[in-house]
Amino acid sequence: MKTEQFEAFLAKLYVDDQARARFLADPRAEANQAGLTAEQCNALESIDTVGLQLAADSFARKRAAQRPQRHSLRILRWLGRT
């Protein structure tokens, strides 16, 4: 498997709550289902699950903090003030 596909799988774990929950319940099965190599599956079985969850929570907070800014900018544009 290409490195880009492995990285895409990891990125999905950071942003998709359901995918992360399935992965945390059975890392090997999810990694196998994604078509990862045996070496990649082995690496993911020993992933720092606490760190994974903390990072995912941090990314979610950052995305949530950015949303109001974008929304406000759209309103200002709509009002013709930017």
pLDDT for 1 equals 45
Residues found in the chain: 82
The pTM is what?
Answer: 0.73
At 55, list the tokens.
């990072």
Q: How far apart are the first and last CA of the chain?
A: 47
Answer whether residue 81 shows pLDDT above 70: no
Q: What is the pLDDT of residues 53-66, one digit of tens each?
A: 999 999 999 888 77
